[in-house]
Chain A
Amino acid sequence: MRKTMLESLTRGPLTEPPPAPDQAALAELAGLVRAAAETRLGRSLSIRQVDAGSCNACELEIHALANAFYDLERFGLRFVASPRHADVLLVTGPVTKNMREALERTYDATPDPKWVVAVGGCAADGGVFRGSYACVGGVKDVIPVDLHIPGCPPSPTALLKGLLALLQHVSGESGTRLMRQ
């Protein structure tokens, strides 16, 4: 264990990406997200993820945001265990009818001000499951949505991009609301 930890300390961080094209895009995004988060949110935005019927591919990529390459927490963005601690709900899936009530109750349990980000093609309009007897069809049909992040599933880079867009949205529409908190 010592060897692994020492190496982790002495070796350059993985978060300094090699200059592949998507890596460069990521580095650029990372800088932008950091600046926006610091100035507008004081380095703190708590995210609660809700699976409302996803196939679990979106969850895998949301998980990846926490790995050494994307390291979401360096921006002050973090996942929390309860909607009561959250500023943002990150919702995936075509909202199955069996999850509708749970999603509504999660939304109600999230304190204001709050924002909802619908992640993936299903969360936008039901995706490939649109029209099923068991699905509502899109997150916006159940709770108000501030932003959609497209993709099936969206890559971690696309998710980062989306969170940046959210920060801009927050400042444009209700940034002052947040300042008053």
Chain B
Amino acid sequence: MSLLDGIPHRAPLPSHHPWLRAIVGEEGWQAAIGDLVAGQTTLLGFWGEPDAVHMALLAGETNEIAVVSLECSDGSFPSVALAHPPALRLERTIHDLFGLTAKGAGDTRPWLDHGAWGGRFPLGKQKRSSAGKAAPYRFLPAEGEALHQIAVGPVHAGIIEPGHFRFSANGEHVVRLEQRLGYVHKGIEAMLAGASLDQAARLACRTSGDSTVAYAYAFARAVEAALQRDAPPRGHYLRALMAEIERLANHFGDIGAICNDASFALMHAQTGILRERCLRAADAAFGHRLMMDVIVPGGVARDVAPGGVAQMRQLVAEIRKAFPRLIELYDNTASLQDRTVTTGIVRAEYARQFGAGGPVGRASGRAFDARRSVGYAPYDQLSFEVPVLDAGDVNARVWIRIREVEQSLGLIDQILDRLPQGEIRIPVTPSGEVCEGMALVEAFRGDVLVWVRLDGDGRVARCHLRDASWFQWPLLEAAIEHNIVADFPLCNKSFNCSYAGSDL
């Protein structure tokens, strides 16, 4: 049975690729919400336009993907979040950016709009001037005799991104955590509208710097899908090579940072060395430590430097030599395990309901990895496993990353062995017509979704970028409950959600 079968809809649009997009009426919209609530589908994305809203859906068993769109002629749409909480922050964002109202919504507080933009609804049909000073943000109440509040941020103690955390605690135990984000909202989607492909690719690369390769990868694939073009084989392999180096570097950083927050600095120092080696190899091979702006629509902007392949092989050999001992170190340090085991548990049902991707989802039994579940070149030709655990605690999220490091090493071997010769890039020419494309790419923290509409001249008319963090941040609020305040940094690092990626 197809995903759209149970949803009354009009004929799917011919200009949308590679998955179907269909316009629905209110009846179809409600049916789509019903499927989400019933767990038959997972919410992959939810974004707005001045007069429409779109939901990307993933079918549970088949991993089929489709987009349903509802026209909002009266400036409103039936609330999704009312019945399906994972949509809540996205729904509040749609209101902040477009001024569209979610009918029946329970929580109508602003999300990205802190009242500082000098106007409201910046992407909407009618921009409005602000109504003076913004009302203070109302945090959700937590009541009880012995409760106290701890307010943290937006400027934190470490070198991390800004966001506000409001803890309600009973002594050491967290009763409620509420996040307030949006501090690094840069208006990326407004800047993307009307941008040339070059400008847009540069913006996509700077959505979340730690996932710059994954964002460039997803943006390029979405544009290529819209234009019905395909990058050359060597381009595909070089993209995957960069994506795996990025995954390695970030996983090393995360494993070390988690241990460091349990005051185990030795691991942090050792993984820091491996991370630096990855970045240096990337710099030597692709001319940039984070490999920014190398993946572009049509392929890759530059080929791997002479000697780059040899350096990659050397990197893999070095990691294979050093990493097993670090795994042993983690596994045999009881004082470290004491902090990570049973800490910050994400329940499997939440991971499923929220469609949590990346190590957060896979440590709680959700076996979704865009490289496998959706599949794209060249991963459909490569052999790898998707590690999944059920414990859902900090320890499980560490182990998922450890296992994924091993898988990435295997993938890099295969990529280097099979690296095809030939072109690295094809010219991307406008089709002369409006066309739409979508792509899902697995970044180190989960799937990045990019949806793009190009005008006939090949410029971006509208582009939506959805980080995996949207569906992970809320689970952190749940995971910290009944843990002690001192374990929050540990839980937070084990998620390592992106602020920039979800504030946009």
| A interface, CB within 8 angstroms of B | 1, 3-5, 8, 14, 49-64, 66-69, 79, 81-83, 93-94, 96-102, 106, 127-129, 131-135, 152-153, 155
Contacts and interface: CB of A to CB of B under 8 A. Distances in A.
19 contacts: A8-B269, A51-B184, A54-B184, A54-B209, A55-B212, A56-B499, A61-B289, A64-B279, A66-B272, A67-B273, A96-B185, A96-B186, A98-B182, A102-B154, A127-B206, A128-B202, A129-B206, A134-B190, A152-B292
A98 B110 CA distance: 13
Contacts of B380: none
B210 A57 contact: yes
B135 interface: no
Interface in B125-157: 154-155, 157
Interface in B462-504: 498-500
A57 B213 CA distance: 12
Contacts of B273: 14, 67-69
Given A55-B207, A56-B499, A66-B272, A134 B187 contact: yes
Given A1-B332, A97-B117, A60 B186 contact: no
Interface string B255-292: 00000000000100110110110010001000001101
B498 A56 contact: yes
Interface in B304-324: none
A64 B276 contact: yes
A96 B276 CA distance: 30
Contacts of A96: 183-186
B159 A3 contact: no
Nearest to B274: A67
Contact of B187 (A14, A56, A64, A135): A135
A5 B122 CA distance: 55
User: Which 5 residue pairs of A and B lie closest in terms of their CB atoms, listed nearest first?
Assistant: A57-B209, A134-B187, A81-B157, A67-B272, A132-B187
B133 to A, nearest CB: 12
A133 B122 contact: yes
A101 to B, nearest CB: 8
Interface in B345-374: none
A8 B187 CA distance: 46
Given A63-B159, A100-B116, A133-B118, A57 B212 contact: yes
A98 B208 contact: no
B234 to A, nearest CB: 26
A28 to B, nearest CB: 18
A62 B203 CA distance: 21
Nearest to B119: A133
Contact of A60 (B184, B191, B210): B210
B190 A132 contact: yes
Interface of B: 112, 114, 116-119, 122, 154-155, 157-162, 182-188, 190-191, 199, 202-203, 206-210, 212, 253, 266, 269-270, 272-273, 275-276, 279, 283, 289-290, 292, 325-326, 329, 332-333, 498-500
Nearest to A1: B329
A134 B184 CA distance: 9
A127 B292 CA distance: 15
Given A60-B290, A128-B203, A69 B187 contact: no
A155 B289 contact: yes
A68 B190 contact: no
A82 B184 CA distance: 20
A152 B355 CA distance: 33
A160 to B, nearest CB: 14
A8 B272 CA distance: 14
A155 B183 CA distance: 25
Contact of B191 (A50, A83, A129): A129
Contacts of A52: 162
A93 B183 CA distance: 11
Contacts of A61: 289
A55 B155 contact: no
A50 B161 CA distance: 8
A58 B272 CA distance: 16
Contacts of B161: 51, 54, 56, 59
Contact of B276 (A49, A54, A58, A69): A69
B158 A98 contact: no
B184 A153 contact: no
Given A51-B161, A100-B116, A155-B289, A133 B184 contact: no
B96 to A, nearest CB: 11
Given A53-B184, A99-B183, A102-B155, A58 B209 contact: yes
A80 to B, nearest CB: 9
A18 B27 CA distance: 67
Given A4-B266, A134-B185, A57 B276 contact: no
A125 B234 CA distance: 37
Given A93-B184, A134-B185, A55 B206 contact: yes
Nearest to A152: B292
